[in-house]
Structure 1
Amino acid sequence: MTASKPTNANFDRFLHARRKLYNYIFLGLTGLATAIALAALALILETLVVKGVAGLDIHVFTMSQPAPDMAGGLLNAIVGSLIMCAIGMVIALFVGILAGTWLAEYGDGTKLATIVRFLNDILISAPSILIGLFVYELLVRPFHGFSAAAGGVALALLAMPVATRATEDIMRMQPNALREAGMALGANRGHVIRSIIWRASKSGLMTGALLSFARISGETAPLLFTSLGNPFLSTKLTQPMASMPTTIFQFAMSAYDDWQRLAWAGALLIAVAVLTTNIIGRALTRGSTHK
């Protein structure tokens, strides 16, 4: 009996040393992976900032797409992106908020809600080029022409599932006491949802809207199949319209140095817009959590 105690103690020390070794190896591998990811991100941001700032000037915001070796900017692309994103966001928020409300308040536990939720999850991860091809067959090919309206619809289909998921999640977080208190005062279910639950979910709904905008602001593939592009400033929804992603794609693939500089400037503007949107969304989420 006495001879087994040192053996057990040595074995315990061996197991403890092995666990510490495995822990150090795991920490080292995770630290190395984090360092590689941060280094890659730093290099991307450095390249984007250095080349993007070099291409920024007042003409970027005041002049439209130039011919090669001539002065110009990205005004037509900026205006076109704002118009099509606005169309997409109006459609996506209208459908997404209503769909998310139904999933959270009316369809919970039903087979239809399960199917809708499953399809919505598929749409969230669907490749944007497939959405572009679908809208091309739906709104471009039958009318024999590209249009800004088709581009807005394509962006709406990309933003809609994000808005739906965000709406459902934020409304499920609201306590049932709010619903019970409203109904106890004699209000019907629809009035309680509109006047109490939506108001309590306001910051979360705004966060979902911002995340939806961040999702579509840099999309290129669906716009290549729908709005195509336009070298001139245009606000007609039935005509082709320029956008920042398609213009960046065109300029980056060109052999002209001035177009490539504008492409880097446009990429920097989109990155800043997406980063700002995500920061605002996180701030709103944190604020609603602390309330």
Structure 2
Amino acid sequence: MSTTTTTPPTPSAPSGHTPLSVRSRGAGTRRAKDRVASVVLTAAMVLAMIPLVLIIFEVTRRGIGVVDLDFLTQREPPPRREGGGYAAGFVGTLYIMALAVLMSIPFGIATAVYIVEYGPNRLTAVIRFFTDVMTGIPSIFVGLFVYGLLVVGWGGLGFGTFVGAVAIAVMMLPIVTRSAEEMLRLVPQEIRNASYGLGARKWQTIVHTVLPAAGPGLATGSMLAVARGIGETAPLMLTAFGSGLIVTAFQGSAQGAVPLQLYRGASQPFEAGIDRAWGAALCLFALVLLFTVVARWIGSRGAARTS
């Protein structure tokens, strides 16, 4: 008795659809376009990195032999004399940046909280508009504004640490506000609704739920703002003014800063002073790189924790 094996019929492709095994028309053209686009984008990335690599190489080559413990702890000697360091500039930069952080980061985060949690309204639209405008304002205009408002006007505070910190804080504020706004918008609305469902008020939800959830992103934006402010020169020329001495006065005495000493050292004709300027450039580059890496690390840890 013979048994017949019947094979199930092969399902045919629905009408109007092409099976995956059949190569569609234009696939080769699309693949060629994809390869061309990949090559063009890779070449553009390489071209964009060439100036950065050259800058890093030149700054490191010229400054690595200057930076040592004496460079960080000694004052700047006369331009002709070798040795010495930028201790006054480092102390002044840390002093100014500490005050600028205290003025810009809390105010910037508070502004972003108002925009996200209490908007939209006409006031938030105006705040967002002026924040965007401030982001693109040249830094020399900020220095002129603070100079006219605080240094020679409105009581005539004169040059000093406080007015320099105000200028840097104005530069940092829009960066902190915009980055904090984007981070707060990434917090899911369900988290807020859950807090409201448990009986929390709006301010309790913001303080105990929203801000901790956006904490890593807020820290990242703040670090990037500090990295931007620490290298600014033009606002400090019109506010802190610069000094070769270590100044601890809050206001009323010209304050030193590494960018100011770098600018003045690079603009003079003596080789010793120019070498110190290269060392200062390397230190500033290292500080900016440090803050950027820390910001990326905090952001990656926050993303990993969220996922």
Q: TM-score, normalised by structure 2?
A: 0.85
Q: In structure 1, how many angstroms separate the alpha carbons of the residues matched to 2:278 and 2:106? A: 34
Q: In structure 1, how many angstroms separate the alpha carbons of the residues matched to 2:233 and 2:223? A: 19
SS in 1 for 2:65: helix
Q: Matched residues, percent identical?
A: 29
| Structure 1 residue 39, shift from structure 2 partner | 2.3
Greater radius of gyration (CA):
2
Which residue number in structure 1 is paired with residue 234 of structure 2?
221
Q: Following superposition of structure 1 onto structure 2, how do residues 32-111 of structure 1 map, counting pairs within 5 Å?
A: 32-70=43-81, 71-107=83-119, 109-111=120-122
One-letter code aligned to 2:105: L
One-letter code aligned to 2:228: R
Distance change (3 Å), C-alpha of 1:256 and 1:190: same
Q: Following superposition of structure 1 onto structure 2, how do residues 10-49 of structure 1 map, counting pairs within 5 Å?
A: 25-49=36-60
| Structure 1 residue 245, shift from structure 2 partner | 0.6
The structure carrying a bigger helix percent of its residues is 1
SS in 1 for 2:249: coil
Q: Is the 8 A contact 1:89 1:212 kept in 2?
A: no
| Structure 1 residue 54, shift from structure 2 partner | 1.5
Q: Following superposition of structure 1 onto structure 2, how do residues 1-291 of structure 1 map, counting pairs within 5 Å?
A: 25-70=36-81, 71-107=83-119, 109-142=120-153, 143=156, 145-238=158-251, 239-291=253-305
Q: Which runs of 5+ in 2 are unaligned?
A: 1-24
Distance change (3 Å), C-alpha of 1:131 and 1:15: same
Q: Is the 8 A contact 1:167 1:208 kept in 2?
A: yes
Distance change (3 Å), C-alpha of 1:18 and 1:208: closer
Q: Which moved more, 1:31-40 or 1:175-184?
A: 31-40
Output the aligned Cα RMSD. 2.1
SS in 1 for 2:212: helix
Q: Deviations over 1:136-184 (max 9, x none)?
A: 1011112162111111000000111111112211111112222222222
Q: Deviations over 1:9-51 (max 9, x none)?
A: xxxxx97777666555544443333222222222111101111
Q: In structure 2, how many angstroms separate the alpha carbons of the residues matched to 1:122 and 1:181? A: 36
Q: In structure 2, how many angstroms separate the alpha carbons of the residues matched to 1:154 and 1:94? A: 16
Distance change (3 Å), C-alpha of 1:17 and 1:198: closer
SS in 2 for 1:55: coil
SS in 1 for 2:128: helix
Q: Is the 8 A contact 1:96 1:164 kept in 2?
A: yes
Q: Which runs of 5+ in 1 are unaligned?
A: 1-13
One-letter code aligned to 1:265: G
